[in-house]
Amino acid sequence: MKKLSALITITFFLVSCSQDQNNSVLTSTEAAPDHYKVEFENDYLRVIRVNYSPGETSAMHSHEPTVGVTLTGGEGIFKGMDGTSETRPKNYPGDVLADDGTPHSVTSISESDEELVFIEVKKKYKSKDLGIPNAVEADSATHTVEIEQPNIRVVRIKVPAGHQSPMHSHNAGVTVALTDMKVEHTSPSGEVTESTRSAGEAGWREELAHSGRNLSDQPLEVILFELL
């Protein structure tokens, strides 16, 4: 029993030290504000715009568990607090990603400037039931879930030119346009509105029920970070 008690004490001590070490690391926006800037924040999440030029290295930093999308693609070397380094696979414009928040520094080995949008979830959002099927079920031909984690999922929306979607709903969340967009929205009551977005724009939106039509003569693509 003494050996078991000693083992439990040592394990608890090591875990506690590891947690204390992680907690002592500044967040990305605190440690590396030139690379990580908060673009939007509310009680439930924050949107961080990330930029690196080739060869730049960030200070050691941490994240809340993160999902995101790269607008440019890129490649980097990630160094942990224990000194180990990992060159992660190259990614391409529109790729989605996830990070568990383990502290690290980053050195860009990309050939050109990198730009990404990160979403950090702060707490669960209580979505309202709009009584209309979610787009993932109602319009599965254009809405694909790529990542699902506690409290958030990443949905890729690809809509052909001129496509008219059936009536559907979205939970609250953040959209990031990967292409320029011009869309007509029809509400359940029949109200028609238009919206335009430029590629790279990120924006918060509340729950929404509508049918949509792509008014452009080009396909549109959007990443939706949908709260669950």
Q: What is the rounded distance in angstroms from the CA atom of residue 117 to the CA atom of residue 97? A: 10
**What's the rounded Cα separation, in Å, for the pair 198 and 206?**
20
pLDDT at 17 over 80: no
**What is the DSSP secondary structure assignment for residue 111, as one 8-state letter?**
S
Let me know: does 31 contact 106? Beta carbons within 8 Å: no
pLDDT band at 127 (very low <50, low <70, confident <90, very high): confident
Instruction: Give the tens place of pLDDT for each residue, 42-79.
Output: 999 999 999 999 999 999 999 998 999 999 999 999 99
Give the pLDDT confidence score for residue 30 in this predicted structure.
96
Q: Do domains 25-121 and 135-227 have the same CATH topology?
A: yes
DSSP for residue 28: H
For domain 25-121, which architecture applies? Answer: Sandwich (2.60)
Give the pLDDT of residue 11.
34
Whether the per-residue pLDDT at 4 is higher than 60: the answer is no
State mean pLDDT over 193-208.
96
Q: The dihedral of CA 91, 93, 98, 101: what is its sign?
A: positive
Q: Where are the domains of the chain?
A: 25-121, 135-227
Name the class of domain 135-227.
mainly beta
